[in-house]
Amino acid sequence: MSTEDREAQEDELLALASIYPEDEFKRAETTQGGEIRICLELPSDFRIFVSGSAAANLKNNDFEDSVCFLPPIMLNFELPPDYPSFSPPMFTLSCKWLSVIQLTALCKQLDNLWDENQGCVVLFAWIQFLKEETLEYLHIVSPFELKIYGQGKQNCKSLIPRKEDVDSCGESDAAEGEALDERAIQDVESLSSLIRQILDFDQAQQEKRFNSKLYLCNICFSEKLGRECMHFKECQHVYCSACLKDYFEIQIKEGQVHCLNCPEPKCTSVATPAQVKELVGEQLFSRYDRLLLQSSLDLMADVVYCPRPSCETPVMQEPGCSMGMCSRCHYAFCTLCKMTYHGVSPCKITADKLVALRDEYLEADEVNKRFLEKRYGKKMIQKVLEEMESKDWIAKNSKLCPRCATPIQKTDGCNKMTCTGCMQYFCWICLSCLSKGNPYYHYSDPSSICFNQLFQVINDDDDDDELENED
């Protein structure tokens, strides 16, 4: 190796190390060479797809997605002793998403660039060509179809495989061509593996780009790096992790697991479970996960809960059957009244439960009304509504006997009433029990608040007010 060649190689390698970061250029330790990772700048909304015969081995038979980044083109090189005076760099060119034919075309162009610059260092020119001109040189536009050599038609117009290779890989766009270059390597096993690696790389690069940028949090109004922030997948709104952590923790502690949405006004984007777990920690996430599951089960018409407070295990309800059998504590219960299973006997529902069910049904929309009818039975709902309407009417139009609490309705006549249950005389106005011997004395006694009001008609709504005024 001449002194000039050695100095030229050292200068070139040092220049590359100063221009490109360590994750893009790595110099070999034992030889004059290295590895260069070249990531292409893709147009916005660049789409990749797999279809036709090439997709036959995929589970979904078709695939299409938008990506911002594709895995790099890898240029591995070694500088011979007489480079750059006489010999070009020895190299291999590998890529996961470019076919062997496309890589062969790029290898040929790198050779052409050496021929044009023989006697001068050429690595930087090679890198610039691969980085800036690959898409245009190979006529790659969106949507771009992913191919693996041997799985259908290739996209490169400048080369075709040898005749013996055409039989195994299918048609080619050109009529004549050259042999595949041994330096061209498509470093992937299968289409499914290729798709997975592309999507994983794209996600990692997008996360890397996000972490390095500054974002303004509209909660605390501070600018922070992306690694201190979180963005919602659907809307892409960004807030700092500290503010979202406080917001999510409050919502989870209050049981509002469906309210972990983007704080932006009128935005409906929701945080993913993975994002929630990252922010709030294991303990609160366990509560969030449990409440989320419970709320999902609550919306299922065929799922009820064991009524025992110490159990509360979800139980699948058989269609048309009102018996539930808990798989955990083996308690048999009625799915309507949640009491011990009582067979064909009618449910004994407490007054509080009747009121709660009536209110829930009347306030529900059509979807939830159908859900309640399916869960409790339409006849049961109708019965509850009728019973509660009857009780409301009785409460509004009757008074209770002061002795036995039997509801009594007054249609006409005097204010001396006789209970149909216990036969007790009482006053309709003040609800006092009257003497059996002389019940009318109550209305002739000047000291009585009902003096001379035996036939007095009093507005029931004003009874209490009038009695208080007389007191």
Integer Cα distance of 361 and 358 in angstroms: 5
Q: What is the pLDDT of residues 67-102, one digit of tens each?
A: 999 999 999 999 999 999 999 999 999 999 999 999
| Residue found by looking up tokens 């062997």 in the block | 100
pLDDT at 216: 93
pLDDT at 463: 46
Integer Cα distance of 236 and 185 in angstroms: 37
pLDDT at 464: 45
Q: What would the DSSP string read from start to end of 345-361?
A: SPP---HHHHHHHHHHH
Query: What's the N-to-C CA distance of the chain in angstroms?
Result: 122
pLDDT at 351: 64
Residues 198-212: what's their mean pLDDT?
Answer: 92
Please tell us whether the domain made up of 3-201 is placed in CATH 3.40.630.30.
no
Structure tokens at 205: 């690069």
pLDDT confidence band for 467 (50 / 70 / 90): very low
Closest to 357 (Cα-Cα) out of 375, 384, 338: 384
* Position 443, amino acid: Y
pLDDT confidence band for 470 (50 / 70 / 90): very low
Q: State the chain's mean pLDDT as an integer.
A: 82
Residue with the larger pLDDT of the pair 78 and 170: 78
Active site residue 414: yes
pLDDT at 363: 85
Closest to 89 (Cα-Cα) out of 64, 120, 128, 63: 120
Check if the beta carbon of residue 140 is closer than 8 Å to that of residue 134.
yes
Residues 360-364: what's their mean pLDDT?
Answer: 84
184-218 b/e with 16+ CB inside 10 Å = b? bbbebeebeebbebbeebbeebeeeebeeeebebe
pLDDT at 126: 96
pLDDT confidence band for 52 (50 / 70 / 90): low
pLDDT at 83: 94
pLDDT at 61: 58
pLDDT at 8: 93
Strands 46-50 and 144-145: parallel
SS3 for 243-312 is HHHHHHHHHHHCCCHHHCECCCCCCCCECCHHHHHHHHHHHHHHHHHHHHHHHHHHCCCCEEECCCCCCC
Closest to 458 (Cα-Cα) out of 421, 426, 424, 430: 430
Residues 19-30: what's their mean pLDDT?
Answer: 92
Integer Cα distance of 427 and 402 in angstroms: 9
Least confident span in 88-97, 146-155, 320-329, 380-389:
146-155
Strands (E), 187-227: 214-216, 223-225
Closest to 155 (Cα-Cα) out of 163, 164, 168, 169: 169
Examine the pLDDT at 166 and tell me if it is beyond 60.
no
Q: What is the pLDDT of residues 413-464, one digit of tens each?
A: 898 899 988 999 999 889 889 988 888 888 888 888 898 888 877 655 444 4
Q: Among 311, 414, 430, 433, which one carries the catalytic annotation?
A: 414
**What angle in degrees, to the nearest 10, is found between the helix axes of 366-376 and 351-363?**
150
| Residue found by looking up tokens 């798989």 in the block | 327
pLDDT at 130: 96
- Report residue 246: phi and psi, to 5°: -60, -45
pLDDT at 369: 79
Q: What is the pLDDT of residues 246-301, one digit of tens each?
A: 988 888 888 777 778 898 888 888 888 888 888 888 888 888 888 887 776 666 66
Classify residue 450 by its DSSP letter.
Answer: T
Examine the pLDDT at 215 and tell me if it is beyond 90.
yes
Q: What is the pLDDT of residues 116-137, one digit of tens each?
A: 988 899 999 999 999 999 999 9
pLDDT at 13: 95
| Residue found by looking up tokens 């049961």 in the block | 380
Domain with CATH 3.30.40.10 in the chain: 214-298
pLDDT confidence band for 1 (50 / 70 / 90): low
Which helix (H) or strand (E) covers residue 5, if one does?
Answer: helix 3-19
Q: What would the DSSP string read from start to end of 84-103?
A: TTTPPPEEEEEESSS-HHHH
Examine the pLDDT at 171 and tell me if it is beyond 60.
no
Closest to 324 (Cα-Cα) out of 451, 312, 214: 312
Half-sphere exposure of 159 (CA within 13 A, CB side): 21
Residues 53-79: what's their mean pLDDT?
Answer: 79
pTM of the model: 0.55
pLDDT confidence band for 309 (50 / 70 / 90): confident
157-169 b/e with 16+ CB inside 10 Å = b? ebbbbeeebeeeb
Domain with CATH 3.10.110.10 in the chain: 3-201
Fold of 214-298: Herpes Virus-1 (3.30.40)
Examine the pLDDT at 151 and tell me if it is beyond 70.
no
Q: What is the pLDDT of residues 275-286, one digit of tens each?
A: 888 888 888 888
